[in-house]
Amino acid sequence: MPRIRLTVTRLYALNDERMVASKATAKIYVGDECIATEAISGLTETPVYKYIHHAFPVGRPIRVEWDTPGFADMTAVEENDCPCCQDSHII
């Protein structure tokens, strides 16, 4: 089953010029179809991953949109599990 790796590379807000935890809502799309809405909270400047499975055919366009009162950077890529060894391969 195809899956999407959502990577949050940055999430924070500023409070008196200090970085503090923030919240974001991410919407993950396969083609034009929104397949998941994820609430994310915390403080990070290092990548954090979340995996979302989907039932669409492999190779459709993947994108992520987010809303946050702070600062965030996110990416979404499709991965496919190898059925014999469960290794992940980015498509």
Q: How far apart are CA 25 and CA 9, in angstroms?
A: 14
At 41-51, the pLDDT tens digits run 999 989 999 99
Q: pLDDT digits over 5-30, tens only?
A: 999 999 999 999 999 999 999 999 99
End-to-end CA gap in the chain: 13
Model-level pTM greater than 0.85? no
pLDDT digits over 63-85, tens only? 999 999 999 999 999 986 644 44
Q: What does the alpha-carbon distance between residue 13 and residue 28 come to, in Å, rounded to a whole number?
A: 22
Neighbours of 8 (CB within 10 A): 22
